A = this chain, B = another copy of it.
């Protein structure tokens, strides 16, 4: 009672944070590999090397765990893309378009896709994922506007950027079953050139 010093509390908080992070990363990997049906708190706890009790302490429900996981990794990726262009509005629009499209490939997109599809069938999951998706979508839009130096006060610019992000999402879907990287590169090159004209 009141006898725990700050020095003793800090490492405990660090451990707790590290456990949480391991669970979130394991949850995204699990969802990407096994889909929603194969992803339970127990499976993720084992993968993360955490007891089931500890996992449930951090995330009381399966929905809590997986929505938090997709949000966490989406934030990590948002930070990573901003870090790629530390000067903000970059001169090279092709590099920005390419980096935006990359947000929609890889394990995070696969995990998010599994979560979306599951949410479309499950009433319990749908409102959580809808809200998460709106939040992540807004942040991705903000990043795109900043890095492309798009002037949203000009009519049509907002929709141009939205369409670009829809295209990025569609390219992610096209990459689900086969490696679509070569075709994707060509589409990115062409549309980055078109955007350069439109946004100039």
Contacts and interface: CB of A to CB of B under 8 A. Distances in A.
Interface of A: 33-35, 37-38, 110, 113-114, 116-121, 126, 129-130, 133, 156, 159-160, 162-163, 165-174, 176-178, 183, 186-187, 189-191, 193-194, 198
Number of copies: 2
A120 B110 CA distance: 9
Contacts of A187: 159, 162-163, 166
Given A35-B118, A113-B173, A163-B190, 14 more contacts: A33-B121, A35-B121, A114-B117, A117-B176, A120-B176, A130-B178, A156-B190, A159-B186, A159-B189, A162-B186, A162-B187, A166-B174, A167-B167, A167-B170
Given A133-B177, A162-B183, A173-B173, A121 B34 contact: yes
A142 B174 CA distance: 17
Contacts of A159: 186-187, 189-191
Describe A's contact surface by its main secondary structure: helix
A172 B156 CA distance: 21
A116 to B, nearest CB: 6
Contacts of A169: 169-170, 173-174
From A118, A120, A183, residue with most partner B Cβ within 10 Å: A120
Nearest to A190: B159
